[in-house]
Homo-oligomer: A and B are copies of this chain.
């Protein structure tokens, strides 16, 4: 269930984050500019600075939302009991494919942790740790596999005829064999 924590943003700041998210997802990271975000709201770029100190802060708000949404997907995976690594991998891949530009913003660069809503990154990581048998090394290795597959998929690095599903299956079988 959506536990709906109180929003840390003012109503107008929330509208700005929503607009920024729309720009990002529909036009890509390069199009995520203060001008474009403002234009989507029918205002001018300088007005945004009354609500966010700079662009980094706005991006961090998008990323914090992304981690919460990813965590919710993880927490709803393998419904009923504890999620298995295969369930989380499916949820992870689905999230990345549904929001490719958001995924890259969240994972493919240095993370300004000092600007994030506290705890959101950890919340998204916890289900993976648990599914890996509370083995941090195994959780990190599995995460790396999923991240690598996702990025290679998103950037179109596999050859045209490649069976991406089979590569996912092969990797997951390796990580879940005992």
Contact = CB atoms under 8 A, between A and B. Distances in A.
A144 B108 CA distance: 14
Contact of A137 (B108, B170, B177): B170
Contacts of A144: 145, 148-149, 152, 167, 171
A164 B144 CA distance: 11
A1 interface: no
Contact of A107 (B146, B157, B169): B157
Given A136-B162, A148-B148, A149-B148, A171 B141 contact: yes
B110 A141 contact: no
Contact of A151 (B147, B157, B168, B169): B147
A103 to B, nearest CB: 13
B141 A152 contact: no
Given A109-B155, A155-B110, A171-B144, A163 B149 contact: no
Contacts of A163: 136-137
A143 interface: yes
- Copies per complex? 2
A81 interface: no
B149 A141 contact: yes
B157 A145 contact: no
A123 interface: no
Contacts of A111: 155-157
Interface string A117-145: 00000000000000000011110111111
A166 interface: yes
10 contacts: A107-B157, A108-B151, A111-B155, A135-B170, A143-B148, A144-B148, A145-B145, A146-B148, A147-B148, A174-B174
